[in-house]
Amino acid sequence: MVSILIPTYNYSIVNLVNQIYKQAIDSLITFEIIVIDDCSTNKLFVQENNQVNDLDFCTLIENKKNLGRTATRSLLAKKAKYERLLFLDADVLPKYNDFINRFRFSEMNTLQVVYGGVDYYKERPNENILRWKYGKKREAKPVTERLKEPYFIISQNLLIDKELFLNLNSENNNVYGLDILFSSNLKKKGIKVEQIDNPVYHLGLESNEIFINKSLEAVKTTFILEEKGVIDNDFRPLQKSYLKLNKARVTLLFNFFISKFKNKMERNFKSNNPNLFWFDLYRLNYYIELKLKKKGA
């Protein structure tokens, strides 16, 4: 028995729901699908997504105000009738035709968290190159690679116990980058994350500019969570890089150097061949700026 939960905002989930629904029916599992539209402003999507209500065991709920992705996921979990929750983002599609069966629900009753992974189409898009390239190089990892960092999970394809999720999903602020807190909470509790080969394709590629801004917002979220003491100061590679620079007492020199090339970097990120190493340095520079601003306050 599983509750399949999908938050959406200004995105059509009809194709995703139809594919998941067919697979769930064919697998003979007991299931429900709940979609929450987080107060979308695009009424065409709202109207189209209401088709979900025409399917058996499927429900679409419309939020009266925008709560944000994390709070909406909490609401989905609370409305779920079953104790096993499968979270999917709206902008994904299963890679395999036996996506539902690959979770092997009958065998996984003793596992609290199962992460299926994420993938990106091999074909290079004509635009939004930075998001596609970052996803291909940094997120789309085979199980053998994911096992080296089992707590690197993205909640767009996550099977988890309902009680555990509600206990760990402790931050409901409408900010970007809160998966890091959820992953940290799992690690602190010593909860085993089972990694399996069952990815979803991430389709919703943000524009270069939007992805840059979201990435910086995620860095700021990491900084704030660290300041609150709810994540360790060395949980992310970004934080570890800062600690190395700080130990060597070259953070100011690093930032001075990056400042000379920042405009060139930003132009590169919006080009057809974005440099991910530069993107790492760019985000690290922003993290250090937040640190220095805090010290100067």
pLDDT in tens, 51-96: 999 999 999 999 999 988 888 999 999 999 999 999 999 999 999 9
Using CA atoms, how far apart are residues 183 and 168, in angstroms rounded to an integer?
Answer: 9
* Residue 134 confidence (pLDDT) above 80: yes
* 2-204: CATH number: 3.90.550.10
Q: Does the structure show a pLDDT above 60 at 297?
A: no
In this prediction, residue 152 carries a pLDDT of 87
| Burial of 265 (C-beta count, 10 Å sphere; 0-12/13-18/19+) | middle
What stretch(es) of the chain map to CATH 3.90.550.10?
2-204
DSSP 124-146: PPSS-HHHHHHIIIII---HHHH
Mean pLDDT estimate for the chain:
92
57 Cβ contact list (under 8 Å, min separation 6): 31, 32, 33
Q: Report whether pLDDT(24) > 80.
A: yes
* Both structure tokens of 13: 């989930």
* pLDDT (average), residues 239-267: 94
Distance of CA 210 to the CA centre of its chain: 15
Listed in sequence order, the residues at least 6 apart from 156 whose beta carbon sits closer than 8 Å to its beta carbon are 87, 88, 89, 92, 118, 200, 202
How many other CB atoms sit within 10 Å of the CB of residue 142?
Answer: 12
Predicted confidence at residue 177, as pLDDT, reads: 66
> Which are the contacts of 215, defined by CB distance < 8 A and separation ≥ 6?
279, 283
Higher local confidence (pLDDT), 153 or 245: 245
One-character DSSP codes across 172-196? --S-S-THHHHHHHHHHHT--EEE-
- Cα Rg of the chain (Å, integer): 20
